[in-house]
């Protein structure tokens, strides 16, 4: 993070201050040094610093912020059963540091922020963070990716605090499979959160589904059926390898095969 901030601001490393608390929120002026080139406008006419444009001309105006490493599930493809070693609290970004960094990026042209984790809704100050982030001048979209376990009861306040887009993770429509995969109960809570999101007006509600051969590949068309009568977008995700999830290429179902399954099968409602 410090290396990236140094690259954006042109500040030398080590930084000329003790910690990130020396960032000051100031909506009337930019942080750090000025861009070396004139800002470029995006499709909406907003200015984007050349520091957010890569060598291929792509504009990187979408920032993901992890609010916590903690999670109330233990999904087999995500972490070991015993969990992971957590970073000591003093080394985690505080509420003010999150706001200061977000304001820095928005100042330079970021217009969409997604809050992730771990599970972002387990963070105690989630509502305050969302309220402050949504007030940043120039930010158009404040999204959150959640497992939905505690979302339903927090959703009205999150919407009021500025959450504009929702992604809810759900890998199976079968409660017993859910408990096996996540090592926790709570399938009904996720379904409740999806319905609650629809009820309060989110359209679409995006559902993220990691597809694994031999586990939920027989449910692909069942997930497609969710989109027939409700404002739901299902996003099928390939099973990806990383430390601790015992990845096996035999469980991988590529996107092309998922698409063929949907096109080929006729046992779901058109």
Please give the mean pLDDT across all residues of the chain. Answer: 83
Residues 144/167, Cβ–Cβ less than 8 Å: yes
Domain 17-23+48-265 sits in CATH at 3.20.20.70
Considering the entire predicted model, what is its pTM? 0.79
Looking at residue 245, what is its pLDDT? 55
- pLDDT at residue 164 tops 50: yes
pLDDT single digits (tens) 209-241: 999 999 999 999 999 999 999 999 999 988 776
Looking at residue 90, what is its pLDDT? 85
DSSP assignment letter at 106: H
Q: Break the chain into its structural domains and give their ranges.
A: 17-23+48-265
Looking at residue 26, what is its pLDDT? 34
Q: List C-alpha distances in Å: 149 to 49, 87, 178.
A: 38, 23, 12
């Amino acid at each position: 993070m410090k290396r990236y901030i140094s690259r954006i601001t042109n500040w030398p490393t080590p930084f000329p201050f003790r910690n990130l608390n020396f960032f000051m929120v100031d909506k009337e002026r930019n942080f750090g040094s000025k861009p070396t080139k004139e800002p470029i406008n995006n499709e909406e006419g907003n200015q984007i610093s050349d520091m957010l444009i890569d060598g291929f001309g792509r504009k990187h105006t979408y920032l993901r912020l992890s609010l916590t490493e903690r999670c109330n599930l233990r999904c087999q493809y995500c972490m070991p059963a015993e969990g992971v070693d957590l970073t000591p609290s003093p080394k985690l970004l505080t509420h003010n540091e999150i706001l200061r960094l977000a304001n820095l990026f928005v100042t330079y042209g970021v217009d969409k922020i997604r809050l992730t984790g771990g599970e972002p809704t387990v963070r105690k100050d989630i509502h305050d963070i969302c309220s402050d982030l949504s007030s940043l001048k120039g930010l158009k979209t404040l999204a959150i990716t959640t497992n939905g376990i505690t979302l339903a009861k927090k959703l009205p306040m999150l919407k009021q605090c500025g959450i504009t887009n929702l992604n809810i993770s759900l890998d199976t429509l079968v409660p017993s499979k859910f408990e096996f995969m996540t090592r926790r109960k709570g399938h009904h809570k996720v379904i409740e959160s999806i319905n609650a999101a629809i009820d309060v007006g989110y359209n679409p509600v995006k559902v993220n589904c990691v597809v694994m051969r031999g586990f939920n590949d027989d449910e692909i068309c069942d997930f497609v059926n969710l989109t027939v009568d409700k404002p739901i977008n299902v996003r099928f995700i390939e099973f990806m390898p990383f430390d601790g999830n015992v990845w096996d290429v035999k469980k991988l179902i590529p996107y092309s095969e998922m698409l063929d399954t949907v096109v080929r099968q006729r046992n779901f409602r058109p």
